[in-house]
Amino acid sequence: MLSITFSAAILLFLLYIAREIRAYYNLKQFGGPWIVGFSRIWLYRSIMSGRMNIHFTELNDKYGSTARSGPNHLMTCDPALIRRMNAVRSSYTRSEWYKGLRLHPTRDNITSYRDEATHMQLRNQMALGYSGKENLFLEQDIDKRLLQLIDLMKSKYTSSSTEYRPFCLARLTTFFTLDVISTVAFGRAFGFLERDEDHFDYINQLNKFLPAVMLFGSYPELQSVMRLPFMQALAPKATDAVGLGKVMGFAKEVVAERFGAKPIVRKDMLGSFLAHGLSQEQLESETLTQITAGSDSSSTAIRMTIFLITTSPQIYTKLMAELDDALNAGKFTRPIMTDAESRQLPYLQACIKEGLRMYPPVTGLLAKQSPPEGDWVDGKFIPGGVQIGWNSWGLMRRKDVFGNDPEVFRPERWFAAEDEEQETAAKRIENMEGVQGMVFGYGRFGCLGKNVAVMELDKAVAELLLRFNFQIANPEKPFESTCIGFFLMQKMIFRLEERTTTATSQDDGARDVLALDDISY
């Protein structure tokens, strides 16, 4: 009996070795560190380093646009491959990585479903709510929260010649986007701006939660462990006083208000989802996803665009001339410009495009799985079932797309150069826009919340720069940042002063507060 057991163990060991050797040779034609052919430890260390964007880009710079990052994993910054994987009729599917995005402990959401039919059905049910076509208050909701942010900055964080009031842009933009997404989604703000504090302990908890999400994506086998009863007991709950559980409780409460004997009826995002057939349980799970994914990516885009502009004197001067000229010419609605008005400002839009390019808000793998029949890239065969991660940071730094200085914040790249032929410039800019637009995903996996994010960005960047002068407090170390799927930033301290221009003289603080109260539904 002992010999039979020993023989079985030897057989299993040999089968394991054979599987590993086969996996190694399946992707041997793709370059990468020697260890990735046998282990996911390089991938794990890169993700947990807090500098995953840099490690992924160094991998592609050294080993090619599509390189090996694990035994059955590739990393790509090839726009053609990304388009092919994400195309509407592509035979690629979501990999096991997406299962790690199941934020609710018992229910999947639109980002964690792997079944293509279920995913597409949910997208179709939710698309109109995200687009704003069935949300009558989308722009008003954003205006309301932006005015609240401006009022807070004026009353509490504006310095003078005799008083210095440090202002953390990272903290306040996070509060702003959290209150925007909760207002836009279901008509009630979390209250971060009103309290000027993280009463959910959201930021601290997110710093702990995101590494776990990335770990479960890279090691899908751990996901089954997390579903065990004793692990479920440790998961966030709607009754928790802080963190993700607190957000779950908030979502559960506002969703419940739309059901029952006297349901609240409102033409907002939640109302649209409900009208298109989402159940109460689905709504709870989806609103949780909206909050976590929609707020952190938008806050990164806003803060980094403002940071890059205000620490680049020549760019700042040129942009402020455009904004002031438009304001003095009466081209802006007051107290808050419309999204349509901000899109008519070419240099502002170039700065926003460049900010998104420099700091693509989402750097997670977003790994797709190659079809059973495999695929070819650059003359190399990819077997079926291979996970291919997306290096967004490297994609936005391709010299063949963005020029020889992709590490430089330079909005001028979005215009024709003086000595450039018009047709050549048009093709170059069109190509850049196609690749840069991928910061919001592509094809059937494109970001549903793009419309909301762009509107927040257009309005917030322009209005905050019109109203305040920003001076970075510590140029040697302007902020602390950890990149782990999203950018977790803190200590981005500025000295603020109100701008004494037409912008402020036409629109004082009292008017801000009045306008805030006047926006109604």
Please give the Cα distance from 461 to 172 (Å, whole number): 13
DSSP bridge partners of 486: 484
Q: How much is the pTM?
A: 0.90
- 86 touches 441 (CB < 8 A): yes
Half-sphere exposure of 457 (CA within 13 A, CB side): 29
- 97 touches 445 (CB < 8 A): no
Please give the Cα distance from 481 to 153 (Å, whole number): 23
pLDDT of residue 361: 92
What is the separation, in whole angstroms, between the first and last Cα of the chain? 78
Whether 483 has a binding-site annotation, put simply, is: no
Tens place of pLDDT for every residue, the chain, 521 residues? 556 665 666 666 555 555 556 666 689 999 999 999 999 999 999 999 999 999 999 999 999 999 999 999 999 999 999 999 999 999 999 998 887 777 666 678 888 888 888 888 888 888 888 887 788 889 999 999 999 999 999 999 999 999 999 999 999 999 999 999 989 887 889 999 999 999 988 888 888 878 877 887 777 777 666 666 655 666 677 777 777 778 878 888 888 888 878 888 888 888 888 889 888 888 877 877 777 777 888 999 999 999 999 999 999 999 999 999 999 999 999 999 999 999 999 999 999 999 999 999 999 899 999 999 999 999 999 999 999 999 999 999 999 999 999 999 999 999 999 899 999 999 999 999 999 999 999 999 898 889 999 999 999 999 999 999 999 999 999 999 999 989 999 999 999 999 986 444 444 443 443 344 333 33
Structure tokens at 325: 């000229």
Please give the Cα distance from 254 to 267 (Å, whole number): 14
Mention every residue, 6+ apart, whose C-beta is less than 8 A from residue 361.
296, 297, 298, 300, 301, 439, 486, 487
User: Hey, what long-range contacts does 358-361 have (CB within 8 A, 24 or more apart)?
Assistant: 358/304, 358/308, 358/396, 358/409, 359/300, 359/301, 359/304, 359/308, 359/487, 360/392, 360/393, 360/395, 360/396, 360/439, 361/296, 361/297, 361/298, 361/300, 361/301, 361/439, 361/486, 361/487
What fold characterizes domain 40-94+137-195+294-518?
Answer: Cytochrome p450 (1.10.630)
Domain ranges for the chain: 40-94+137-195+294-518
Q: Which residue has the tokens 């509107």?
A: 455
Q: Which residue has the tokens 């008003």?
A: 140
Give Cα 289 distance to the centre of its chain.
12
pLDDT of residue 96: 87
pLDDT of residue 133: 79
